Amino acid sequence: MSEGSTDVFELHYTSSKVDLSWLEKPTQHQFRWRNRNGKWNTSKRRVRDHATLMKAFEGQFPTDLFVSTSSWLDPIGLPRLSDVEAPAPILLDHLIVFDIDCPPLCMERLEEAKVTALKLHAHVMEHEDLEFLHAVFSGSKGFHMFYRDKDRRVFSIPDPREREQEVRALRSALLQRVLDAGLEVDTRVTADTRRIIRLPGSLHGSSLHQCTIVPLASLEQPVQDLLDAVYRAEGAPIIPLKAPQTPHREIADAGAGPQKAKADKETGEIGKDADQPQFMLEVSTHVHGTKDRSVMLFWLPSSWGIGQQAMERAMRLVEDEHLGPCSFWEQGGRILMLCPQAMPRSQLIAIYRRHKLTIRAKEMQKNEHEWVRVSAIYDEETSWDNEIQPIGIYGSPSHLSEARQFSRPHLELERRMGVAREVESSSSLAGSEHLPLRIVSRG
């Protein structure tokens, strides 16, 4: 952002009011924003209207402003989803939001996003029992489509943890139906009850266009006509007609990361807008302290589906290869799988090839190990709150259990990630206690 544009955010929020009337009860939502120094802030007070939002800023006007898709009895100081010690927050409602992005930002790609939004809406209206709320131009590369459940029974479940888990399960199933229909949406957003989404009425920190609620009919118009009705700050860059003729960067091992472009069917790896840095924690599949031992650790391919559908496919692999009980985690419907058995690299490559995991096999053949994401992804539209949640250990005991050798460092990884395993006394341990971890910044 240029030095001359540093006051556009203050001018925007002091000269026009952010309309929160579309939220049934704004005071039950969490508001988060990023300041010019890149620091993220969460409102320490309930936000009722524009005036209380301005007070929450405390004179530091945000470059990017977000609101939670969920409403809570108490949105202040929400505990993390993984914090089982704290009292469970009471989820009152969860807006159904589909995020459609087509990077990089250009008129041609915005037309594609607009067409996808219309197809999505037609599909939802025909096949789902949902109430349409509104469409939103995100201010940059796409659109957000907002819906609400007509069936409210899930929000009457007495136990707050069970209620939130059931909402997440229902959203994951809905997301899978949309993906099965061939509609490309961001898989992080819809199923995540702790998700934040860009607030309509706020200014986008990169494009300087306003995130704006738009009439559904405007999606039938050329995107240029739609943008002509959207406020943009002085100095906003001109949106090019076509994308630059440079290859779009891809993230390695994004797993359940943002679906900003079409995901690879096997790995779930996706293209990503280069102006949005992401941070994540990765671990090596190599058993540190051994010469040629590795473990099976990977995000289940997006082509296997999400949630229970992907788990069933994974269990067939476990049974076919006699791997014994393996551990699983979930994030946004995507599944992370770990079989901590220390096996020769050649054996692991052969397993991958038998199950058509060719990218996994090639990566292991070329680099002798893989770096796999084992944390949430932090970027401009989310936080570490969208954590990976343990599912547990599943799989029948292997008939080769007496000869099994476990990776010592990857058993420690299981423990740190909330999965408790009892290792048979007849089993041996391989490798050192060192767990090869790294923090990665991409973008």
pLDDT tens digits, 186-200: 888 999 999 999 999
- Above 60 in pLDDT, residue 340? yes
When pLDDT is averaged across residues 314-338 and rounded to a whole number, the result is: 89
For the full predicted model, state whether its pTM sits above 0.85: no
Give the start-to-end residue ranges of the domains of the chain: 3-228, 281-442
Q: What single letter denotes the amino acid at residue 410? A: H
Give per-residue pLDDT as tens, 154-185: 999 999 999 999 999 999 999 999 999 999 99
**Residue 130: alpha-carbon gap to chain centroid:** 23
**In 58-152, which ranges are continuous DSSP H helix?**
107-127
Q: Are 173 and 190 in contact (CB under 8 A)?
A: no
pLDDT at 187: 85
Alpha-carbon distances, residue 438 vs 284, 367, 371, 393 (angstroms) = 9, 17, 9, 25
pLDDT digits (tens, 9 = 90+) for 271-323: 344 445 678 899 999 999 999 999 999 999 988 887 778 888 999 999 889 89
17-30: burial string, b at 16+ Cβ within 10 Å, e else: ebebeebeebbbbb
Chain length of the chain: 443
pLDDT at residue 253 in the model: 34
3-state secondary structure of 103: coil
> What does the alpha-carbon distance between residue 443 and residue 394 come to, in Å, rounded to a whole number?
36
Burial of residue 402, with CB atoms counted within 10 A of its CB: 0-12 exposed, 13-18 middle, 19 or more buried: exposed
Token couple for 108: 């041609």
One of 3.90.920.10, 3.10.105.10, 3.40.50.170, 3.40.50.2000 is the CATH number of 3-228, namely 3.90.920.10
Rounded distance between C-alpha atoms, residue 95 and residue 52, angstroms: 22
Find the farthest-apart pair of alpha carbons in the chain and give their distance in angstroms, rounded: 72
Number of Cα atoms under 13 Å in the Cβ half of residue 396: 9
Q: What single-letter DSSP state applies at residue 151?
A: -
Tell me the C-alpha distance between 343 and 51, whole Å.
Answer: 61
Instruction: Please confirm whether the linkage preceding 277 is cis (ω < 30° from 0).
Output: no
Q: Where are the beta strands (DSSP E) in 395-443?
A: 405-407, 428-430, 437-442
